[in-house]
């Protein structure tokens, strides 16, 4: 039995062939729909800092002497995407042509120990949309969702600008959940880009004793205040350790969430956090970070927690965006056509003051 629905044989796509070897392809083969697959026509796809770092060849993706290569070119980048179902395989029963859907970035195998015990986002094979040729991402007109995809419906009334933030805000939610914030905690979030803003608006819902945000760009700090920060500081203009110690009887903050990917932010966090504090690391780094690990152990006995992806987060994020609890206004600042990908990637660096830039498709 043939798949239900039809699509063109070729499509527009951005294709990664290697480090710094990304090319716009006006007639790239469209994905083929197997019996368990869903093909969507992409409505929108955000550009993540991870996409930029991958393009520039960061070891996290391409490997080095300590970690194997993760990407498998040629692949289509993009993991912050959503769209409408245009073709379904014969075994697909939960979705119909025209449904508006998105999916988690991870494509869990369903067989490893992590998938079996519910930690699907740490799946051992760790296949993801936007990094392997067999799991192409959303910087293309059409994308294939394979059988094990973790799919969530996107409300018809949800704006494109909000839907573009489902994936990054899902990651933000998970990072804040890893911190275990209570209403007695002084919380510092370092970084007020898209992901940091998602953390700020969600952390505000946790009602911490004090929510402090740090960023080197004043326009981002203004947005942080709009999204719920009690206090904001620019590390380039003041002594952050002095400011936070003054607010906490010289103890330091209870929780520090690192969302910049800058080694200086890590060292700063280890300085301003109190003894027995919780440090949450979210970012992908472009270079190694060197610290004196005795600070973590013998000096402060810190809880160091990582944060990866957005498990079980999409339904909550969508519901609370629609209710207005999670602020999104003004985060998506520029929309581009795929043909303008080089300009979009440049704007996504934040050099012009942008938070989130994205592609949309007609």
34 lies in the same domain as 100: yes
Report the CATH number at residue 229: 3.40.50.720
pLDDT for position 362 = 78
How many helices (DSSP H) and strands (DSSP E) are in the chain?
11, 17
318 inside domain:
no
Successive 10-residue mean pLDDT values, the chain, 362 residues? 85 96 98 97 96 92 89 97 97 97 98 98 96 97 97 98 98 98 98 97 98 97 98 97 98 98 96 98 88 96 98 98 98 97 96 95 86
321 inside domain:
no
Residue appearing with tokens 């044989």: 9
131 lies in the same domain as 247: no
What Cα–Cα distance (Å) separates residue 57 from each residue in 75, 116, 179, 354? 14, 33, 30, 23
> Can you tell me the distance from the alpha carbon of 357 to that of 348, in angstroms, rounded to the nearest whole number?
6
What is the model's pTM? 0.96
The model's pLDDT over 63-75, given as tens digits with 9 standing for 90+, comes to 988 888 889 999 9
> Can you tell me the distance from the alpha carbon of 172 to that of 315, in angstroms, rounded to the nearest whole number?
14
pLDDT for position 3 = 84
CA atoms within 13 A on the CB side of 319: 6
232 lies in the same domain as 354: no
> Which range of residues forms the domain containing residue 200?
172-306
| Residue 117: count of CB within 10 angstroms of its CB | 9
Please count the structural domains in the chain.
2
Average pLDDT across the chain, whole number: 96
The model's pLDDT over 224-246, given as tens digits with 9 standing for 90+, comes to 999 999 999 999 999 999 999 99
């Amino acid at each position: 039995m043939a798949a239900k629905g039809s699509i063109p044989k070729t499509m527009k796509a951005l294709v990664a062939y290697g480090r710094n070897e990304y090319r716009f392809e006006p007639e790239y083969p469209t994905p083929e729909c197997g019996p368990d697959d869903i093909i969507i026509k992409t409505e929108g796809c955000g550009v993540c800092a991870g996409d930029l770092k991958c393009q520039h060849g960061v070891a996290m993706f391409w490997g080095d002497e300590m970690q194997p290569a993760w990407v498998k070119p040629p692949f289509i980048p993009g993991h912050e995407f959503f769209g409408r179902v245009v073709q379904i395989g014969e075994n697909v029963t939960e979705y119909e042509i025209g449904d508006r859907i998105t999916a988690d970035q991870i494509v869990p195998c369903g067989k490893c120990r992590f998938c079996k015990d519910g930690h699907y986002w740490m799946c051992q094979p760790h296949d993801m949309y936007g990094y392997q040729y067999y799991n192409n991402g959303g910087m293309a007109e059409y994308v294939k969702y394979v059988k094990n995809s973790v799919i969530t419906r996107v409300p018809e009334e949800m704006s494109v600008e909000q839907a573009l933030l489902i994936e990054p805000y899902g990651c933000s939610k998970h990072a804040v959940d890893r911190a275990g914030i209570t209403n007695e905690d002084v919380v510092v979030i370092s970084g007020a880009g898209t992901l940091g803003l998602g953390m700020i608006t969600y952390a505000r819902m946790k009602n911490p004793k004090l929510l402090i945000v740090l960023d080197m760009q004043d326009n981002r700090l203004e947005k942080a205040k709009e999204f719920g920060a009690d206090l904001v500081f620019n590390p380039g203009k003041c002594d952050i350790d002095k400011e936070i110690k003054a607010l906490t009887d010289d103890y330091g903050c209870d929780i520090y969430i690192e969302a910049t990917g800058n080694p200086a932010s890590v060292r700063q966090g280890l300085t301003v956090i109190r003894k027995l504090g919780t440090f949450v690391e979210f970012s992908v780094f472009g270079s190694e970070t060197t610290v004196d690990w005795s600070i973590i152990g013998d000096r402060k006995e810190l809880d160091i927690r990582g944060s990866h992806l957005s498990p079980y987060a999409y339904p909550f994020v969508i519901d609370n965006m629609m209710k207005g609890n999670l602020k999104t206004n003004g985060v998506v600042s520029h929309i581009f056509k795929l043909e303008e990908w080089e300009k979009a990637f440049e704007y996504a660096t934040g050099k012009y003051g942008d938070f989130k830039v994205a592609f949309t498709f007609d």
